[in-house]
Amino acid sequence: MFSLFFENLYISVSSVLANKMRSLLTALGVVIGILAVTLMGTLISGLDRSFEKSMEFLGKDVVYIRKFEWFGSKEWWEIRNRPNIDVKHAEVLRNRSQFAQYVAPVSDWQTSIKRGDKDINGVRITGTTDEYAMISTAEIDIGRFFSNSESHSGARVAVIGKDIKDALFEDESSIGKKLKVGNYIFRVIGEVEKQGKFLGMFSLDKQIIIPLGTHERLFTRRGWTGINVKVNEADLGDATEELTAMMRQLRHVRPTQDDNFALNRQDPFKDQYSMIKLAIGGTGLFITILSLVVGGIGIANIMFVTVKERTREIGTRKALGATPKMILTQFLMESVIICLFGGLLGLGLAWGGSLIINQYFPSDMPMGLALVSLGLSMVVGVISGLAPSYKAAKLDPIDALRYE
């Protein structure tokens, strides 16, 4: 039995290799289909990892009170005149809210920073309080976060991200060293662990965190403001309703008026991501199905031609004792091998493509996806080769030997 299997395999491989260009062109549809489904799966896998990591930065149990919604259906002209978030309201929310565990006002803006003859542009400066460390999911890697007294006294201390450390301090320790933010000197007291990029767009490590009191004293009216509120995840819905009511009261919003602020959470990001993922998956699936159908038709057509070309060979094999099952297996195996070669070529191209994509966007090729792709190519080979193989198996040996 095994000898028969290997004999059929040898004949099938020899036939495919004897017509390399024809086999390659025949398998082109399968190559494109496997390339499409593999690249799609690779991209989605990379997106999933990047998205989950980015959502960890936002936190499942954090409500972000901001001037604008992260995602909304309102026109810009309707919300552009909203008043800024008053960071002083954070104290009221902390004292009155039943659900708020930690409340941290934030003021963000961007500038360049210097140390000696080294500088780095586009650094995000965040002014906040000591409770920010309790809300943020990023841990302090080296050093410490500033204290409550430093936050209120306006001490010129800073906690920096890894991009700042690498750019300005390189191989030396940053703790206790000084750097220049605007026209003011700050002393580094801590480094935040490496966080990477948010959704692959901008670095979370290009940041300096300073006490809110210092920010208000030195950099008044710069950037935008907001309030971050950490609550129990189980109470997220009730907490959002409570915070909405409190903010409406603090901002003197009348019952008939719409909110002039936004309470943002992870949910809109997840909804948008699901839509993007569905669009990518749907497009990739459509291309894959179309390519495999076209490829399958091409393989079936070329297999019918192959059966016709080798009719005398089939007659000879049957005259020497080959059964219809053996003939069917031989041609079916040939069809599968063509598709398998196409699948392997498609996987090779997809692997190379994933390496290129990974330079600009996170992506990796899961082993399970590669195996499924190969299995899919073999299924296409079986379906495409079934009818031609059946025709070859049913040929009459006498008529086949007479065929010219």
- Asked if residue 111 and residue 73 are part of one domain, the reply reads yes
Instruction: Round the CA-based radius of gyration of the chain to a whole number and report it.
Output: 33
Looking at the fold, whether 141 and 289 belong to one and the same domain comes out as no
The C-alpha angle 84, 89, 94, rounded to 5 degrees, equals 145
CB 159 within 8 A of CB 209: yes
Phi-psi region at 171: left, alpha or beta (left = phi > 0; alpha = psi -120 to 50): alpha
pLDDT at 204: 78
Residue 241, pLDDT score: 92
Rounded CA-CA distance 66/58 in Å is: 14
- Residue 229: per-residue pLDDT: 93
Three-state SS for 153-213 is HCCCEEEECHHHHHHHCCCCCCCCCEEEECCEEEEEEEEECCCCEECCCEECCCEEEEEHH
Structural domains in the chain (count): 2
Residue-range definition of the domain harbouring residue 283: 2-53+271-402
Q: Does 104 share its domain with 35?
A: no
Residues 279 and 364 in one domain: yes
Query: Do both 279 and 258 map to the same domain?
Result: no
pLDDT given at position 25: 74
Residue 188 and residue 235 in one domain: yes
| Residue 301 and residue 250 in one domain | no
Give the CA-trace dihedral at 64, 66, 69, 74, to 10 degrees.
Answer: 160
Do both 67 and 124 map to the same domain?
yes
Among 215, 234, 265, identify where a domain stops. 265
Low-confidence spans in the chain with pLDDT less than 50: none
Would you state the pLDDT for residue 80? Answer: 77
Q: Which two tokens stand for residue 220?
A: 């008044």
Claim to verify: residue 177 and residue 197 sit in the same structural domain: yes
Instruction: Out of 265, 281, 305, pick the residue that ends a domain.
Output: 265
Q: Does 111 share its domain with 214?
A: yes
Q: For the stretch 232-269, what's the b/e string if a residue is b when 16 or more beta carbons lie within 10 angstroms of its beta carbon?
A: eeeebeebbebbbebbbeebebeeeeeeebbbbbbeeb
Domain boundary residue, one of 235, 265, 295? 265
Residues 380 and 303 in one domain: yes
Indicate whether 6 and 94 sit together in one domain. no
